[in-house]
Amino acid sequence: MQPQPTVSTPPQQALRHPDTVMRLARMGASFPTRLSFMRSLLRRMAAEQVAVTRPVWEINAAGYGRAVYSLTLSGHTYSLVAFSTELADEDRTDRVIAQAWDSSYVLFDGIPTTADLDRLQENAPRQEAGRFEETELVLSRANKSVRLFAHVVDSLASGQQPDPDIVSATGYLMRTTAVYGNGKFGIADRGVFLDRPALSGPFQAEMLTVWLIRGFTHDLVNHIAACRAPDRAVPLAPEFRRALGIGNSTGLGMAPFLVSHPVLMNNWILVRETALARVRALEMTSEDISTYCISLIERVAQHLDQWFVPDRHHMARIEALRQDWRALRHVVTPNWLLGEAYPWDRLIHLSNQWDLDCQELVVALVLEPHGKLVDGLTDCMDSTDAPRLDPTMTVGILRGLLRDHFGWALDIDFQDPAATRQFWYVSEEKLEPRLGLREEERGADKELPLDIARKVQALNMDLQQLPQDQLIAEFLLAHPDHRYCLRRVQTLAKYPYSEIRDNLIAETCQPIDMLRCKLACFGAAKFYPKSDRWTRITMYQGAPLAEEVQSGSSLCDDWWLPVLALGR
């Protein structure tokens, strides 16, 4: 019998405690890392030197019609089917309840036939109202950034590149209003492609769709400009194409995801924290990595200088972060990194003197130069585990789980009216999750179960006078209302980063903290909050283009927090 090879695990320091990591304020200071879903997807595509072809381009001079983009990734062929339609200005809205859009998309499993295209052309522009099959993996739609789209077309048609300041101010030609997967509206369930390496990770099919949509928007402005002025028009230059990502507006609808998918959230955060622990355990660094880190620090400074938002509170945070980063730049030099042992651990400790935004940005920074050490962890981000109830557990063991893993919830004072000031519900009119004020608005009787801390306290209270050896099965016969919370406690006790360790119905709860955490896992940067309940983002800004991915260039994995240099 052949001896099995020994798999060695890199040394690592202790993980940061969930009481530190899973607080809303710190989650709301999240930044994208090299472990983000966009980055891991494009790394794989560049490693395989994936080629994108355009077998169908049936777009008229005004920019309306259909197109198909195809690629083969890890042995499977996928196609983006894009439809561009005329839309009156009064019908253009980014609300999820809209019924018409500038463009609609399907990620198709394979290469669609003409019959498939005709069927999809009838249904995709209708989105939720359409009819779909298992060949459709992702469904999406997008609206133009009207002023920038028109400016880019006008500029190209006149033989010039667009104004860099106008491009930088918006950052996208179109913004998606939804990217649906996992069986929505009759499209393929996630199980259809769960065993395919390229799409098995979280949101990889959706991230692939958005990246292909980005390429379509670039081609669309080039096409319209060339049709308008065939003898004078110029194509959009590569630096402008890289600078133009895909916009998105994300609101309260995304926030409950982190509560309803706790094991998945645990895995995302655990991978990042494990990567950080590995980097902090490095006793020494090399001159090359030190030099690269210093260049990244300079890049971040420029990136922050290009980040502006109209919200006063968040702009003040950005300005404070710029100031903290200037202080860090003065301290962290090549000699500082190379001079003493455990430089990355020292850098993490150094950052603790500054605000949370700077602390979490430093976490992302120290991961960036260490791809060989941490990138493989992205294979551990998915989860198929579902919460399970163990009726044979005793009351004593359950109380121990509550004490050891949910102490943060037991410490909240729910007698304080501010602790229950808000409640989550689904709006009947908008069909979207909403936050209401409990004493001022109706609907608390239809509250969503996001009040985890309050449910944990209620469960703990009803356990207090029971015998330690009583079985949970007997307890549930008398208290069936605790079934949801009890199952959650039993399941999540072994997943340290699965719960947001704050009161989600408190007066102080700001949903944008949850939104930013999830969007940073996607890979979004330059958050553009419009309130504490929704934000705009740009996806794939600075990301490699299709021809760069096909070349397998090392630059395909060097676009963290990009700086826009547009011909100045």
The 10s digit of each residue's pLDDT in 192-214 is 999 998 999 999 999 999 999 99
**Best CA proximity match to 171, nearest among 243, 250, 248:** 243
Cβ-proximal residues to 469 (8 Å cutoff; 6+ apart), any chain: 394, 395, 396
Q: Which two tokens stand for residue 432?
A: 């979207």
Alpha-carbon torsion angle 207, 213, 218, 222, nearest 10: 160
CA distance to 84, 276, 342, 351, 360, per residue, from 374 (Å): 40, 8, 17, 21, 17
Task: Tell me how far apart the alpha carbons of residues 343 and 350 are, in angstroms, rounded to a whole number.
Answer: 10
Please report the pLDDT score of residue 348 as a whole number: 97
Task: Tell me how far apart the alpha carbons of residues 106 and 74 are, in angstroms, rounded to a whole number.
Answer: 20
User: Read out DSSP for 48-111?
Assistant: TT---EEEEEEE-TTS-EEEEEEEEETTEEEEEEEEE----GGG---STT-S--SEEEEEEES-
How large is the C-alpha radius of gyration of the chain? 25
Please report the pLDDT score of residue 51 as a whole number: 98
Please report the pLDDT score of residue 567 as a whole number: 57
Cβ(233)–Cβ(61) below 8 Å: no
pLDDT < 70 regions, the chain: 1-7, 90-98, 429-431, 566-568
| Phi-psi map region of 189: left, alpha, beta (phi>0 left; psi -120 to 50 alpha) | beta
Task: Tell me how far apart the alpha carbons of residues 529 and 155 are, in angstroms, rounded to a whole number.
Answer: 30
Strand pairing category for 525-529 and 433-437: unpaired
Strand pairing category for 76-84 and 65-73: antiparallel
Please report the pLDDT score of residue 429 as a whole number: 64
H helix or E strand, kind and range, residue 291: helix 287-305
**Residue 434 phi, psi dihedral angles, 5° rounding:** -140, 160
Please report the pLDDT score of residue 87 as a whole number: 81
Cβ(379)–Cβ(47) below 8 Å: no
